[in-house]
Structure 1
Amino acid sequence: MLRTAQVSTASGYSVQQVRDLERLGVIPPAVRGANDYRSYSSLHVRALAAYRGVAAAIGPVEARRLLVRIWTMDLEEAAAEVGAVHLRLATERGRLLQARDALQAIRADTESSGSDDAMTITELSRALGVRSSALRFWEREGLVAPRRMTSLQIRLYDPASIRALRIVAALRGAGYRIPAVRDILASLDGAEAGEATARVLQQRLDALAQRTLALIEAGADLARVLRSLRSA
């Protein structure tokens, strides 16, 4: 049996963190002796290692919620919960890859066409594959400012606006929220915009790979704890 200080040393968490995580149900409850002292085991060290990996993959708040749930589930349900997290990360990667492919197509199309033609909102909506309402929303959010033609106030997007909105569409497709898209656009400059956006997407892909590896590494500890709890 292990004391709290020993679990702290083995896991890298402080004594108070170990106690707090047990109180929250993130790790299984410790055995209480007649003197009310906690007694842990190597199982708790594994549970803490699992929490660290899952937290690196999906964030500490969601990791706590997940582990609290799965300790009380049967193996089939617990495995499905962990599988859903893997699927979520795979889906996120798929969106990022789609955005990267879309950006590459945008850059190739821009280089080959060399067009200086402007577009109406209907034409641009069709070209980007997004609704006109999305373009209007992006305008209201300050991501682009099309010209207004005549007294009818028809929107007309110049080549610079079109390039910017293509990048917006790629980033939104990758799951970036409006404030993040706005910050990225503000940091871009003309011809370098496409390359800078590609770097942003690659950085996110690299970070996602690290998160996925953390989840894979946590899987062995999760399995060991779950099997031990069910056989107890």
Structure 2
Amino acid sequence: MRPVDLARGHALSTQAIRNYEEAGVLPPAARSESGYRSYTPVHAQALRTFLALRRGHCYQRSVEILRAVNRGDTDAGYRLIDLAHVELHTERARRAESAAALGGLTVTAIRSAAGQSLTVGELGRRLGMHAATLRTWESAGIVHPRRDRVTGYRMYDAECVRDAEVARQLRRGGYPLRRIAQFVSSLREAGGAAALAVFLDEWQDRFSARSRNLLNGAAQLDAYLGLLEDYRSCRS
């Protein structure tokens, strides 16, 4: 196959094919006497494998997996794949922990219609964190304390305390401040339980999608390893 043939089959440009070869994603192509690249079904499967791996792994890790396989270090490729599964397992555990914690917090928040306002220092001690972190969360739009008219101090009412507790659990789950701010906003608008259910379902759906993508990538890699073994045997 010519570079253009391989590119068209995957809706890519010929430059992208050349870039993938130079990056080590594809094994080196044979060259004609005039210097043109010539690709085989092995290269086509390498490309399919990379595109499939990329959906379950990050771009760079997918490149590293194919580089390792193409240089004959399959164990290094396996270790990178194993690492992705360990990361996913850890994320699932964090979700389960956050779901349990957030579920309890939501029930508490719904029942707590009112409560004494806390200063930034008092709330920080309650949550076990620095006041500076709470001020960062305020800048990110997660909490919205009011200012005392006399002292000018930040004052956190029951809703702010609830939002800060939720944010603490989500940070433990690895979520960035931007996503936490979106969730807390939805939590306030929806009254708590409905937003929480949707959020946790989306979180679970993301895990399921990544698991499926990892399986598909592994299947394509297995097919590539079989072709690559035959390809190397023929060339030796």
The Cα RMSD (Å) is 3.2
Q: What does residue 223 of structure 1 align with?
A: 222
Alpha-carbon displacement from aligned partner over 1:42-88 (angstroms, at most 9, x marks no partner): 22222112211222123435433443344335222221111112222
Letter in 2 for 1:202: D
Do 2:29 and 2:37's aligned partners in 1 also have CA atoms closer than 8 Å? Answer: yes
Q: What residue is the counterpart of 2:80 in the other structure?
A: 81
Aligned 1:135-154 pairs, distance under 5 A: 135-147=134-146
What per-residue deviation string (whole Å, max 9, x for no partner) do you get for residues 92-144 of structure 1? Answer: 23323322222111112234555524345565446545555533432354432
TM-score (norm 2): 0.77
User: Percent identity over the alignment?
Assistant: 28
Q: Distance in 1 between matches of 2:148 and 2:8?
A: 69
Structure 2 residue runs of 5 or longer lacking an equivalent are none
Which residue in the other structure is 1:63 paired with? 62
How many aligned residue pairs are there? 231
1:17 partner SS: helix
Residues 192 and 62 of structure 1: is their aligned pair in 2 closer, same or farther, counting only changes over 3 Å?
farther
Higher relative contact order (CA 8 A, sep 6+): 1
1:36 aligns with 2:14: no
1:170 and 2:169 correspond: yes
Paired residues of 2:142 and 2:185 also in contact (CA < 8 A)? no
Tell me, what secondary structure is at the counterpart of 1:220?
A: helix
Residue identity in the other structure for 1:207 = R
- C-alpha spacing 1:143/1:112, structure 2 compared with 1 (3 Å): closer
Residues 191 and 15 of structure 1, relative CA distance in 2, 3 Å threshold: closer
Q: Write out per-residue CA displacement over residues 11-35 of structure 1, whole angstroms, 9 at most, x where no aligned residue.
A: 4544443233223222222122223
Q: Structure 2 CA distance, aligned partners of 1:41 and 1:75?
A: 21
Deviation at residue 203 of structure 1 after TM alignment? 1.5
1:108-119 alignment, distance < 5 Å: 108-112=107-111, 116-119=115-118
CA contact (8 A) 2:25 2:50 kept: yes
Alignment partner of 1:18 is 2:14: no
> Quick one: structure 1 residues 131 and 91, their matched pair in 2 at CA, closer, same or farther if it must change by over 3 Å?
farther
2:110 maps to 1:103? no
Q: 1:94 and 1:129, CA in 2 relative to 1: closer, same or farther beyond 3 A?
A: farther
Q: Given that residues 7 and 45 in structure 1 are in contact (C-alpha distance below 8 angstroms), is that contact kept between their aligned partners in structure 2?
A: yes
CA contact (8 A) 1:100 1:198 kept: no
Contact 1:103 1:198 in 2 (8 A): no
Answer yes or no: is the 8 Å Cα contact 2:120–2:156 preserved in 1: yes
Q: Mark the CA change 1:47 to 1:130 in structure 2 (over 3 Å): closer, same or farther.
A: farther
Paired letter, 2:162 = R
**Separation (CA, whole Å) in 2 of partners of 1:229 and 1:147:** 65
